[in-house]
Structure 1
Amino acid sequence: MGNSPPASVGLSHDAAVNQIQETIADNCVVIFSKTTCVYCKMAKKLFEDMNVNYTAVELDMNTNGSQFQDILEQMTGGRTVPRVFVNGTFVGGAAETQRLHKEGKLLPLVHQCQLKIKS
């Protein structure tokens, strides 16, 4: 149980940050998720039920997933998944995303992003 080096596969910290930022910038909805996470499934189902395309980054299937999760914690203040981004902005986890939807605020955020892509 000594200090072992992080098990990242060749991505520098900056390259990992850039990859996360590019994914967020290039997609209206990004869900950083794990395949076994019930809350992640709830968040994905919410967008599926609204017929909104999303990009899921499955951290448990990604060789750099742990490193990405560390960076997401620095970016968002939390390490739990899902980490949901809409229109480039972090909106929260599953509960926060569902609350935005119930308040009628989630779809307008998605539409703002879709309008940007079309114009």
Structure 2
Amino acid sequence: MKSASAPESEVLSPCGGAARRRTPNPMVPRGRTPSPRVHRRHYKFLVQAAPALARASPEEAVMALRSRLYSVFFRRTSTFALTIVLGALVFERAFDQGADAFYERLNHGKLWKHIKHKYETQEE
């Protein structure tokens, strides 16, 4: 946001005052900014972010969740591939057990394990 009376080089902040120029960090190579992932891993970030998420609207909470999921699971190719492989294994296991439970519920009383006590004799 620029003011008509302000010089061209002065940039105003949204609050109306002059914005401070960022001084370059000597630890970061020129042209690059520090990664925000460093701060996400820090414990204090998690403690400070929890109350902010509790006060957030549902749309903001969903956006925060999507951002967190993207940064954790989908940002790098290696974690994306690992997520797909582990997701496929978990889905296969859950689908198999669910299908078996459904089949046994539909055929309760008709399967051999349910009626074998009627036909087997005790051998001594």
TM range (shorter): under 0.3
> How does the TM-score come out when normalised to structure 1?
0.23
Identify the structure with the greater helix proportion: 2
Identify the structure with the greater strand proportion: 1
Bigger radius of gyration, 1 or 2?
Answer: 2
